C-alpha cells in the first residue's frame, strides 16, 4: 500500500487542488484597445475565470 503525504490526502478528503493558467487577451482596436490578464483555474469543484487589467505590452 502506498503511503500518502499531507498534500495528497487533502486532495482526496475535502481539500482543494487548484491548477491555474494565465493568458492575455486584447479587447478593442487602436486607441481604445485594452489588455486583460485572464486567469483560468481548474479546482476540485469546477472551473473559474478571473479577468484583471494588464499592461498593453503583455498582449503584444
User: What is the pLDDT at residue 19?
Assistant: 83
If you search the block for the grid coordinates 498582449, which residue do you land on? Answer: 59
If you search the block for the grid coordinates 500518502, which residue do you land on? Answer: 4
> Is pTM beyond 0.75 here?
no
How is the chain split into domains, by residue range? 18-59
User: What is the pLDDT at residue 5?
Assistant: 76
Terminal-residue alpha carbon distance, the chain: 51
Q: How far is CA 42 from CA 2, 19, 33, in A?
A: 26, 5, 29
pLDDT digits (tens, 9 = 90+) for 15-60: 566 689 999 999 988 888 999 999 999 877 788 899 999 998 898 7
User: What is the pLDDT at residue 12?
Assistant: 61
Amino acid at each position: 500500500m502506498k503511503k500518502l503525504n499531507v498534500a495528497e490526502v487533502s486532495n482526496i478528503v475535502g481539500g482543494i487542488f487548484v491548477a491555474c493558467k494565465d493568458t492575455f487577451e486584447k479587447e478593442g482596436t487602436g486607441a481604445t484597445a485594452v489588455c486583460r490578464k485572464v486567469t483560468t483555474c481548474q479546482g476540485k469543484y469546477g472551473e473559474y475565470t478571473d479577468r484583471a487589467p494588464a499592461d498593453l505590452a503583455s498582449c503584444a
